[in-house]
Amino acid sequence: MITQTLYIYTETPLHAGAGSGLSSIDLPIQRERTTQYPMIQGSGIKGKLRASLEGDRESLTPEAREMVDIVFGPPSTSGTHSDHAGALIAGDARLLLFPVRSLNGVFAYTTSYDILSRFRRDIERAQTGSTVDWDIPPALTEQVLVAEKNDVSTDNTIVLEEFSFEVKADPQITKIAKWIASHALPDLGTAYWPEKIKSSLVILPNDVFRDFALYATEVITRVRIDRLKKTVETGALWTEENLPTDTLLYVPLYANKARKKDSRIDEQQVLAQIATLSNRYLQLGGDETVGRGIVRIRVN
């Protein structure tokens, strides 16, 4: 088994729904049970990757159709079982950077010690035991960490949403920001976005970050209009939660040799199929017809 990482950058708000909610939000997003961090289930990621590679299945050559089936498994036929499983394993999309409104610099890319620790564990496993070139600073509970040169703090203070925090500049934050900009950020067309990460990365205490991830998402109110009366239809007023634009997530990908009998497709060839999607646009989650869920991806 070999591994790689898929990075997902949201260019429009993304609604990966969890069904009806019990809170004030009618349609919440998917979240991890223990941490309450936003996430996207791996089944949805894998389905979108298949749809992007497969396109119109009937228009594919027999060889291309066979490769899709090797990577993802043959399509299910009603009442029967598939001949073999797919060779690709897609994990859940986990949070890496979460944008939060900032008094300076428009917004900050926030993360936490917990998020970075999990990411480093996942990325080192994905790179088969190799290490990244940065370390996570010791956790602080009263201060937030920023890069040595940043656009989000003034006079050792940063204001995120309506909360003020004392900041501490740390050279490791500069290294982490440069690594993310170089290795995780998809090609967004200009140099502005890598530079934005380098100047706007903020490491928050774990509890503070969790609260922002819980309460600083984008919540919109939607209605459905009666076409004849031009008024809201009965019961057609609801609230919907979205991951905000400029969120960065990552997905661990694992590849096995082809499970199809007599096939010689190996793990590298399986991941090479996914790599063809790198730096392309995909649409994830619901509300496709109103422009939600447009993301740019990178496989690394």
pLDDT of residue 259: 87
Is the overall model pTM greater than 0.85, yes or no?
yes
Query: What domains are defined for the chain?
Result: 1-16+42-91+243-300 (2.40.30), 99-216 (no CATH)
**Would you say residue 234 has pLDDT above 80?**
no
Percentage of residues in the chain with pLDDT exceeding 70?
95
The tokens for 91 are: 């994990």
Q: Strand, coil or helix: what is 152?
A: coil
- The mean pLDDT of the chain is 91
SS3 (DSSP) at 135: coil
Is a pLDDT exceeding 60 seen at residue 78?
Answer: no
Instruction: Tell me if 46 sits within 8 A of 58, measured CB to CB.
Output: no
CB-CB contact of 220 with 242 (8 Å): yes
Q: Is the pLDDT of residue 81 over 70?
A: no
Residues 228-245: what's their mean pLDDT? 85
Beta-ladder partners of 91 = none
Give the model confidence (pLDDT) of 175-213 as tens digits: 999 999 999 999 999 999 999 999 999 999 999 999 999
Render pLDDT for 120-161 as a digit per residue (tens, 0 to 9). Answer: 999 887 655 557 889 999 998 889 999 999 999 999 999 999
β partners of residue 294: 283
Q: Which residue has the higher pLDDT, 278 or 126?
A: 278
In this model, does residue 219 exceed pLDDT 60? yes
Question: Mapping DSSP to helix (H, G, I), strand (E, B) and coil, where does residue 212 land?
Answer: helix
The mean pLDDT value for 234-246 works out to 89
Q: pLDDT tens digits, residue range 28-67?
A: 999 999 999 999 999 999 999 999 998 888 888 889 989 9
Give bridge partners of residue 243 from the DSSP assignment. 14
Looking at residue 52, what is its pLDDT?
93
Percentage with pLDDT > 90 across the chain: 68
Q: Determine the pLDDT at residue 236.
A: 79
Q: How far apart, in whole angstroms, are the C-alpha atoms of residue 102 and residue 200? A: 10
pLDDT digits (tens, 9 = 90+) for 10-24: 999 999 988 776 677
Residues forming beta bridges with residue 252, ordered by sequence position = 5
Distance (Å, rounded) from C-alpha 92 to C-alpha 71? 18
- As to burial, measured by CB atoms within 10 angstroms (0-12 exposed, 13-18 middle, 19+ buried), residue 249 is buried
DSSP for 241-293, written as a single string: EEBPTT-EEEEEEEE----STT----HHHHHHHHHTTTT-EEE-SS-GGGTTT
pLDDT at position 41 is: 95
Q: Which residue has the higher pLDDT, 226 or 103?
A: 103
Q: Six-digit token pair at 30?
A: 């998917």
